[in-house]
Amino acid sequence: MTLSIRWKVALGTLFAVTLALTVAGWLALRSIERVELSRVAENLEARTSLAAFALEPLLAQPGAGRSTRQPEIQSMVRELSRHALARVTVIGPDGTVLADSDTPDDAVSRLENHGTRPEVIQALSAGYGTDIRLSATVGQRMYYLALPMKSGNQIRSVARLAIPLTTLESRIHDLTRAVSIAFGLAFAVSVALSVLLARGVTRPLSAMADVARQLAGGSLGRRIRTTSRDEVGVLGSTLNQMADQLESKIREVSEDRTQLLAMLASMIEGVMVLDCRGKVLQVNPALEQMLMVQGAEARGRAHWEVIRHHELSELVTRVLETRANCGGEMTAAASGRTLRVEASVAGGQRENEACAVLVFHDITAVRRLEKVRKDFVANVSHELRTPLTSIKGYVEALLDGAKDNPEQALRFLEIILKQTDRLNLILDDLLQLSQIESGQVLFKRDPISLSEVVDRTVALIKPLADKKGHTVTVAMPADLPPVLGDPERLSQVLTNLLDNAVKYTPANGSIHVAGQIAGDLPQRLVELSVTDTGLGIPEADRPRVFERFYRVDKARSRELGGTGLGLAIVKHIVEGHGGRVWVEGNQPTGSRFVVRLPAAASAKGGSG
């Protein structure tokens, strides 16, 4: 059990006070007893001397036989006892009791020999003897004093006076009681005083201990109230200063940490901080997404447990061993993202100190764009080379002599013209696509009636369709809401779709253009579809026909004058209007292209 400082001080003081009081009380009682006894001795000695003086003539008479003088002596002894208020005994030098005031006359001779009594022995040998003991005769504690009675140098007898110590003892007893009461009072006062004193001393210390505990527990706003200027006051104000410093340091550190975490959280790059043993100290939200890991689970674990990637492990091992910055590229298995990792050395040397910082850049989009660019360049070169090779071939043929054959020359020149037109067409489409993609073309956002766009575009395509014997039908509901958009661009979308329908439908087919409302308010959508009874598109190719230069049947497309860019342009324009385009199969044959656009919110109905 540990005692509090208050109890230690209180009990220590009490112990000291109790010890001092006990010793002082005991010494005082002993000293009083001694003084009283010496007074009793003095008094008794005087009385004994007087008794001896009175007895001496009786005992000194020559020839005084004991038996004859004994009654006289006995009576004198009784007389003296009455006056001296003490028991008076006369003892012969051989110890025989000659007279005793407290013994009946006839019993004196039967009294035992007193020669062995200490006071008698002392009186006979030293001329003065005292003793205190319990008297067998009277049954009380008695003070005995004996003096020898001499005639010449010869001791004739010993006069002994004895008084009971009852008075003295009762006085000592009273005194002891008084001292005990005083002791008790002093003890009670000292208990109260020591408790108060201990409280006075320890209360500020307890308050300090309490505040220190709260400071350690995180309540940094707590302070010690001190008014005194003693050591306790100095201790209190020092503790307050320490708490001030601690609070400001902790605030600084937590502000820094908050800023750092905010920076880490807002970074697009993934960040992982490792200690010198490769243990993960920090992971930011961007990296959590890139690697599909939970930051809370990752922290405190080894990096190879968090990211099971051989090359990354090698990179980290290299940076921790060589303490030199390095970098590399990896593909995250979980998310499939391509990541560029830059590992740099931080200052930490010990466990749980930042030793290496890995920054992960998501370069998936960059790599994909690179691939798209490469594919695009390859596609474009291929698309341009085909007509150019053809032109070159026919020009060479003309130069080799065909120019001299007017009929052949004309046919070759017509082919060259056709291929040149095709080149033009490809370049026009490419230019348009690149303008839309780069955002150079801004679409108008006017509420327009799709029915008008449909009518105008169908009228343009009609001659081509007629030429192949196709039937073109239009079904646009009168209550079709307007859409927010660019009429020219939407007309181009429809032109491309109708052009394809005419191209990829064998002669005498049917082409149907329809409009309808899709979705509910407030997200109302307008749907426009172009359905043909042509070749159709295999299901596997359907998602890909909107890619640049993707064709289901390359030869046929070229033969029909296609560039492979029409649907890519359609997709870009529709998406630029916040819409969506896709293709479905038509039953029993053909394709159905669907364009879905958001309806203009404020407008109520279309003109039809």
Task: Give whichever of 501 and 594 is closer to ligand ADP, judged by the CB atom.
Answer: 501
CA distance 123 to 143: 14
Q: Which of 44, 537, 595, 600 is in the footprint of ligand ADP by CB under 6 A?
A: 537
Task: Give whichever of 89 and 586 is closer to ligand ADP, judged by the CB atom.
Answer: 586
Q: 3-class SS at 102?
A: coil
CA distance 549 to 545: 8
Task: Give whichever of 568 and 595 is closer to ligand ADP, judged by the CB atom.
Answer: 568
For residue 116, give every residue at least 6 positions away whose Cβ sits within 8 Å of its Cβ, in sequence order, or none: 95
| 521 phi, psi to nearest 5 deg | -60, 150
Task: Give whichever of 123 and 565 is closer to ligand ADP, judged by the CB atom.
Answer: 565
Instruction: List binders of ligand ADP among 188-207 (CB under 6 A).
Output: none
In the block, tokens 């006359």 appear at 105
532 binds ligand ADP (CB under 6 A): yes
Instruction: List binders of ligand ADP among 214-243 (CB under 6 A).
Output: none
How far apart are CB 584 and ligand ADP at their closest, in Å?
Answer: 11
Task: Give whichever of 144 and 504 is closer to ligand ADP, judged by the CB atom.
Answer: 504
How far apart are CB 548 and ligand ADP at their closest, in Å?
Answer: 8
**Distance, C-alpha 192 to centroid of its chain:** 46
504 binds ligand ADP (CB under 6 A): yes
535 binds ligand ADP (CB under 6 A): yes
Cα R_g (the chain), whole angstroms: 66
CA distance 220 to 247: 6
Q: Which of 387, 482, 564, 606 is in the footprint of ligand ADP by CB under 6 A?
A: 564
Beta strand segments in 346-430, E: 356-362
CA distance 222 to 240: 9
Strands 129-134 and 141-151: antiparallel
Structural contact between residues 120 and 112, judged by C-beta atoms closer than 8 angstroms: no
How far apart are CB 357 and ligand ADP at their closest, in Å?
Answer: 48
270 binds ligand ADP (CB under 6 A): no
Q: Which of 80, 124, 165, 567 is in the footprint of ligand ADP by CB under 6 A?
A: 567
| 600 phi, psi to nearest 5 deg | -65, 130
Q: Which of 129, 481, 515, 562 is in the footprint of ligand ADP by CB under 6 A?
A: 562
383 binds ligand ADP (CB under 6 A): no
500 binds ligand ADP (CB under 6 A): yes
437 binds ligand ADP (CB under 6 A): no
Task: Give whichever of 156 and 489 is closer to ligand ADP, judged by the CB atom.
Answer: 489
- Paired residues of 573 in beta bridges: none
CA distance 419 to 387: 5
Task: Give whichever of 450 and 545 is closer to ligand ADP, judged by the CB atom.
Answer: 545
CA distance 49 to 80: 11
Q: Which of 102, 169, 553, 584 is in the footprint of ligand ADP by CB under 6 A?
A: 553
Query: Of 146-154, 406-414, 493-501, 574-582, which part binds ligand ADP (CB under 6 A)?
Result: 493-501
Strand order in the sheet with 280-283: 280-283, 270-274, 356-362, 338-345, 326-331
531 binds ligand ADP (CB under 6 A): no
Amino acid at 188: A
Query: Of 48-56, 177-185, 258-266, 534-542, which part binds ligand ADP (CB under 6 A)?
Result: 534-542
The continuous run of DSSP H or E covering 226 comes out as none
Task: Give whichever of 304 and 550 is closer to ligand ADP, judged by the CB atom.
Answer: 550
In Å, how far are 48, 549, 599 from 452, measured between CA atoms?
Answer: 161, 31, 15
79 binds ligand ADP (CB under 6 A): no
Task: Give whichever of 281 and 537 is closer to ligand ADP, judged by the CB atom.
Answer: 537
How far apart are CB 515 and ligand ADP at their closest, in Å?
Answer: 18
Q: How many residues bind ligand ADP (CB under 6 A)?
A: 23
How far apart are CB 572 and ligand ADP at their closest, in Å?
Answer: 11
CA distance 8 to 510: 110
Other CB atoms within 10 A of residue 424 CB: 11
557 binds ligand ADP (CB under 6 A): yes
Structural contact between residues 360 and 340, judged by C-beta atoms closer than 8 angstroms: yes
CA distance 469 to 459: 15
Instruction: List binders of ligand ADP among 568-607 (CB under 6 A).
Output: 568, 591
566 binds ligand ADP (CB under 6 A): yes
161 binds ligand ADP (CB under 6 A): no
CA distance 45 to 189: 45
Task: Give whichever of 114 and 470 is closer to ligand ADP, judged by the CB atom.
Answer: 470
Task: Give whichever of 344 and 381 is closer to ligand ADP, judged by the CB atom.
Answer: 381
Tokens of 446: 């006017």
CA distance 159 to 55: 8
How far apart are CB 438 and ligand ADP at their closest, in Å?
Answer: 20
Task: Give whichever of 195 and 535 is closer to ligand ADP, judged by the CB atom.
Answer: 535
Q: 3-class SS at 100?
A: strand
Q: First-to-last CA distance in the chain? A: 98
Instruction: List binders of ligand ADP among 281-340 (CB under 6 A).
Output: none
Task: Give whichever of 190 and 457 is closer to ligand ADP, judged by the CB atom.
Answer: 457
Can you give the binding site for ligand ADP, defined by CB under 6 A? Answer: 496, 500-501, 504, 532, 534-537, 545, 550-553, 557, 562-568, 591
